[in-house]
Amino acid sequence: MIIDGEFRVDAPIQQAWDFLTDMQKVASCVPSFEKIEVLNDQSFAITVSQKVGPIAVTFETQTHFTEVIPPNRLVASGRGKDTKMGSSFELTNEIDLLPVSEKETLVRYKADVKINGRLASVGKSLIKIVAKREVGKVVELIQEKIGGFSGEKV
C-alpha cells in the first residue's frame, strides 16, 4: 500500500535536510519507536511497536538509505519482522524537499509498504487506517521539532 502526502516545516531546506537525515532525531518523532542502533551512517536497526486493541506487533527492522541527494532527495529502504506474529514488511520511503521560502520547506513523502504474513490477514484496510494515523502523528512531531511550528498539515 502507498501512503503519501506532504507537509511544511518552519525551517530552511538545509536545516530540514539535516533533521530528516539524522535517524536519531527522526526516531524521536515516531510514537511507536522503541530503540535504534546505528550500524553505520547509512544503516540502522530500529525496533518499533504498535498496538491495535489486543493485537500488538513489534517489528525489528533494518533500514538503510538508498538514495541520498542533499538537500533535496532521500530514499530509505527497510524490512522488518515480527517473529511472534509471523509477519514481515518491506518499506521504501521517498522523501523530497522543496524550498518554499528562505524559512519554509515543503516535504513530500511517498511510502510504499508491503505487509506479509499473518498481520496481512487482519485486514489491509485497518492496517492502512492505522498506518496513516501514525504517519500523521510523525508529521506533527517533525513539524514541532524542526524548529517552531506554523506549518500546514496535509
Partner 1 sequence: MKRFEILDPNSIEETCELLARYGEEAKVYAGGTALVKLMKKRLVHPSFLLDLKGIQGLHFIREEEDRLTIGALSTLREIETSPLVRQRIGVLGEMIHTIGSVQIRNVGTLAGNLCLADPASDPAPLLIALRANLKVAGSGGKRTIPPEEFFSDFYETALLPEEILEAIEIPFLPQHSGAVYLKHTMREAFDLGVVGVAVRLDLERKDGMCSDVRIVLGGVTSTPARLQKVEALLKGKWIDESLIARVAMTASGEVDPIQDVRASAEYRREMIEVFVERGIKNALERAKGGVS
Residues that bind partner 1 (CB under 8 A): 52-56, 84-86, 118-119, 121-126, 129-130
Shortest spacing between CB 134 and partner 1, in angstroms:
13
CB of 109 to partner 1, least distance (A): 21
Cα–Cα distance, 48 to 22 (Å, whole number): 17
* Minimum CB distance to partner 1 smaller for 128 or for 145: 128
Task: Give the residue from 44, 24, 16, 26 showing the smallest Cα distance to 137.
Answer: 26
Q: Between residues 100 and 122, which has the closer beta carbon with respect to partner 1?
A: 122
Beta carbons of 124 and 1 less than 8 angstroms apart: yes
Q: Are 119 and 19 in contact (CB under 8 A)?
A: no
Least distance between partner 1 and beta carbon 136 (Å): 13
Closest CA to 113 of 82, 136, 90: 90
Shortest Cβ distance from residue 6 to partner 1 (Å)?
Answer: 20
Widest Cα–Cα separation across the chain: 48
- The set of cell numbers assigned to 44 is 540502522
